[in-house]
Amino acid sequence: MRLNDYLTLGRSGLRVSPLCLGTMTFGHEWGWGSSPEDSCRIMDAYIERGGNFLDTANIYTKGHSEKIIGDHLGRHPSKRDRLVIATKFCGGMYPGDPHGGGASRKTIHASLEQSLRRMQTDYVDLYLMHFSDPFTPIEETMGTLDALVRAGKVRYIGFSDTPAWRCAQAQTLAAFRGWAPLCALQIEYSLVQRTVEGELVPMALDQGLGVTPWSPLAGGLLSGKYRREDAERARAEQASKGAIEGRRGAWVYDKLSDRNVAIIEACAAVGREHGATIAEVALAWLQRKPGVVSTIIGARTMEQLDANLRSLEVSLSPEQAARLDEVSKPALNFPHDFLNFVINTMQNGSTINGRGSEVWNLSPTGDSERF
């Protein structure tokens, strides 16, 4: 796969690259990240290689991420119009202001106008609710987003970090009212974080939402920097310095659980078979998962961008993917494991849509045993 092998996002005609450039690292306002100059070089390199999908949010680096994008691309219509720019609302920008964040009509309109100003553009290609707002009726949020689509200020809409039932509620309401539907779902998803496969991913597949995973390397855990010996050192540090002084060790050790270390080692083994890094294997595994359209990659340096883009050259075999699936198998909430357990009870030896089963040992063996 190449960066310019575009995919349609969910049940829409919006074409996006298989890797989306996340811009949360643009700017130093959060104490880390890329300078505006380096951010612009990263954007240019991504675009030159065929990438067309940028992801940001109003709150990223206190709004500077959007401004960096606007200063570099927004003032050039020929560059801006070739790109799919996604930004988000919901994050609070002003301490003490109850309308500084959330998904109310007042907040959405104010957030959008500010984002358009910072990005120096007349429209947003993909506008996402950043978090589920428990205080605003979903009718108000979806009606407001539909009005913005009809006004031409927003082209497509989506949700991020929202429960599956809420997404399905919003999508059903949109269909009933004839409103613009959701076409994207941004969620944390990686070899380490697979619980989204219980509710969120099946919902996205059913409701026509293209999945755009964030933190595909699990906050750096799958970057290749960590090994089993790091967990052992962290445990020793915690034991020698105590729980308070050993907080850094505690953080590493908590992340480097036996399960996660096994995942890292499995990625390393598959990587050796491909001449690829752990990060490249982890990204390649995620990109082939059902529902995933465009994985959001972060890059503070050109070297990190190059490393992430190389993942598109890694083609996992079914056997390799199955090995990674098995080592990272998640524990899902009820009733998912139970439903897998009773598959034989339901299918009773039959194969349906390629999924086989065994004969249920408590079922009737013939007509004579049926009551």
Amino acid at 146: D
Model pLDDT, residue 361: 87
Active-site residue list: 60
- 7-223+277-320 folds as TIM Barrel (3.20.20)
pLDDT of 43 over the 50 cut: yes
Comparing 2-16, 67-81, 216-230, 293-307, the range with the smallest average pLDDT is 216-230
Comparing 81-85, 262-266, 267-271, 297-301, the range with the smallest average pLDDT is 297-301
Mean pLDDT across 28-45: 94
Instruction: State pTM to two decimals.
Output: 0.91
| pLDDT band at residue 226 under the 50/70/90 scheme | confident
pLDDT of 249 over the 60 cut: no
Mean pLDDT across 220-240: 76
| CA–CA distances in Å: residue 107 to residues 2, 99, 239 | 38, 5, 48
Selection from 164, 182, 184 nearest residue 173 by Cα: 182
| CA–CA distances in Å: residue 139 to residues 107, 148, 168, 231 | 15, 14, 13, 48
Model pLDDT, residue 195: 97
Please measure the distance between the N-terminal and C-terminal CA atoms of the chain and give it in whole angstroms: 57
Give kind and range of the element (H or E) at residue 28.
Answer: none
pLDDT of 5 over the 60 cut: yes
| pLDDT band at residue 364 under the 50/70/90 scheme | confident
Selection from 102, 287, 131 nearest residue 210 by Cα: 287
For the residues of 155-210, what is the DSSP string, one character each? EEEEEES--HHHHHHHHHHHHHHTPPPEEEEEEE-SSS--GGGTTHHHHHHHHT-E
DSSP 113: H
Comparing 19-28, 146-155, 253-262, 275-284, the range with the smallest average pLDDT is 253-262
pLDDT digits (tens, 9 = 90+) for 201-217: 999 999 999 999 999 99
* Structure-token match 């994207």, residue found: 184
pLDDT digits (tens, 9 = 90+) for 293-345: 999 999 888 999 999 999 999 999 999 999 999 999 999 999 988 988 899 99
Mean pLDDT across 63-81: 93
Model pLDDT, residue 1: 87
| pLDDT band at residue 253 under the 50/70/90 scheme | low
> How, if at all, do strands 210-214 and 7-8 pair?
unpaired
Model pLDDT, residue 224: 86
CA atoms in the 13 A half-sphere facing the CB of 333: 6
Asked whether the beta carbons of 164 and 200 are under 8 A apart, the reply is: yes
* Structure-token match 């503070």, residue found: 300
* Domain ranges within the chain, ordered by starting residue: 7-223+277-320, 336-369
Model pLDDT, residue 241: 63
Mean pLDDT across 121-130: 97
Mean pLDDT across 71-98: 93
Could you tell me what percentage of the chain is helix, strand and coil, using 3-state DSSP and rounding each to the nearest 5?
Answer: 50, 15, 40
Proportion of the chain above pLDDT 70, given as a percent: 92
pLDDT of 74 over the 60 cut: yes
Model pLDDT, residue 184: 98
| pLDDT band at residue 246 under the 50/70/90 scheme | very low
| pLDDT band at residue 228 under the 50/70/90 scheme | confident
Model pLDDT, residue 244: 44
Model pLDDT, residue 234: 67
